[in-house]
Structure 1
Amino acid sequence: MVPMYANAYMVIYEEKQVLQRYKSNILSYYKFIDDLLIIWNKLVEEAQNMVQELNQLQTPVRFTAEISAEKVHYLDLQITVGPSKLQYSLYTKPTDRNTILHYQSAHPRALKNSLPKAQFLRVIRNNSDVQTMETQITEMKTKFLQRGYNCHILETALQEAQKMRAVEIKSKSSEWCSQCYISKHPLK
């Protein structure tokens, strides 16, 4: 029950405190639970001022922010400003360790065999640049090999993930913000 009330509070808070005050400065606004991605059309200093002003309000809400004109991290994405559009790639925190389920664990084989496909699909979906994607696929393969997965399982999983992504693109569901539960706030 508590998360539902917290989400309801934040919807009202964001509408009143963020969107009404700063709508003219916001190009796009994305939200996943309590993580916001705001594409800002003013100076970096003005974005920093917005966060500072919001944190000074007499409310229980406090923001931390990663503000940059070049790149930011949002969920498991690194978003970079390219020459003509935003580029994105899979992001893992510097403290990330290889905690993939070991293949020798007592978990059902079907579960263990599905993990590589899911992770390869995540790498493929979360990259706008083919070269970066290929590098990250190689890194992901290495992680699975270190955890006892064999090459045949990994190659099969990669092929299945690539086929799934091709079907998604063909059906035009390729925009990253339409995946999962990220909602794009309509700026009226």
Structure 2
Amino acid sequence: MIPREGAILALLRFLEENSYHGKIGSLPIDSIMKLARLVIDSNCFVYNNRYYKQIRGGAMGSAFTQVLANIYMYYWEQDLIKYAVEHKGIYGRDIDDIFMATNQTTVEIQQELKKMMKKDINIKINYEINTSVNFLDITITNENGQLKTSIYHKPTTEPYILPFTSDHPRQIHRNIPYAALMRAARLCSNVADFNSEQIRIDMSLLLNNYPSKFIKRQFNRFFTSNDAMSV
């Protein structure tokens, strides 16, 4: 949970660094800060017929809270970014999920992460160091210095998609196989993984009552429109 005052200070710093004549667009920084305070300090909710006011963190699901958290994390992560650059590594973050690739030893990486844990007690780090890790919906594997990617499916994932019998425009159903194959083509770095994902997509479509001829037609449309051959 990000601290309120720390987040507000990070926001002020961010605005000052990216403003023009003390403004963001037509809004003065002072006005933005007052609005930010209003949003942060006015989170109220009802539980068991009693009113509560949130005094720590920000409201979950609030668009502003997410932006504020990203700004706070932006300044927090600069040391990790610098570390990755210095050691010719890779660094990426999506909200609160971070991926790093480096040539440093496991011990050296752990030491750097421990330093980051001490930097801000509000940021809790749970990490996994391995030659293969899952990041968002991708499995990233280091094979002899080459990064290989494939689609990651959570163990609890159900093969449910929009049923073919649903009352939606047929165009929606046609786009589902196409979009799934496009995602597989973008995320799978080799043909074998793409082929496995294509089989998975095929099975999911069949389980949701998509006719086999319809599936084949949409698969062919994908390969034809992308000037590729079926694998």
- Please, what TM-score do these two structures have when normalized by structure 1? 0.76
- 4+ long deviations beyond 6 Å: none
The answer to whether 1:138 aligns with 2:199 is yes
Query: 1:92 is matched by which residue type in structure 2?
Result: H
Q: CA 1:151–1:22 in structure 2 vs 1: closer, same or farther (change >3 Å)? A: closer
Q: CA 1:159–1:32 in structure 2 vs 1: closer, same or farther (change >3 Å)? A: farther
Correspondence for 1:100 among 135, 142, 161 = 161
Cα distance in structure 1, aligned partners of 2:195 and 2:167: 31
Cα distance in structure 1, aligned partners of 2:119 and 2:172: 47
Correspondence for 1:63 among 119, 125, 130 = 125
The structure whose RCO (Cα within 8 Å, separation 6+) is larger is 1
Q: Please state whether the residue corresponding to 2:77 is helix, strand or coil.
A: helix
**Residue 128 of structure 1 aligns with which residue?**
189
Of residues 144-153 and 158-167 in structure 1, the stretch that sits farther from structure 2 once superposed is 158-167
The answer to whether 1:31 aligns with 2:93 is yes
Q: Gaps (5+ residues) in structure 1?
A: 168-188
Correspondence for 1:54 among 116, 120, 127 = 116
Identity rate, percent: 24
Cα distance in structure 2, aligned partners of 1:2 and 1:113: 37
Q: Gaps (5+ residues) in structure 2?
A: 1-63
Q: CA 1:134–1:62 in structure 2 vs 1: closer, same or farther (change >3 Å)? A: same
**Residue 158 of structure 1 aligns with which residue?**
219
RMSD: 2.2
Native 8 Å contact 2:84 2:90 kept in 1: no
Report the number of matched residues. Answer: 165
Q: CA 1:139–1:21 in structure 2 vs 1: closer, same or farther (change >3 Å)? A: closer
**Residue 183 of structure 1 aligns with which residue?**
none
Cα distance in structure 1, aligned partners of 2:139 and 2:103: 19
**Residue 171 of structure 2 aligns with which residue?**
110
**Residue 43 of structure 1 aligns with which residue?**
105
Native 8 Å contact 2:84 2:102 kept in 1: no
Cα distance in structure 2, aligned partners of 1:61 and 1:20: 18
In terms of Rg, which structure is larger? 2
Native 8 Å contact 1:29 1:38 kept in 2: yes
Cα distance in structure 2, aligned partners of 1:45 and 1:107: 54
**Residue 12 of structure 1 aligns with which residue?**
75
- Please, what TM-score do these two structures have when normalized by structure 2? 0.64
Native 8 Å contact 1:124 1:162 kept in 2: no
Cα distance in structure 1, aligned partners of 2:186 and 2:156: 23
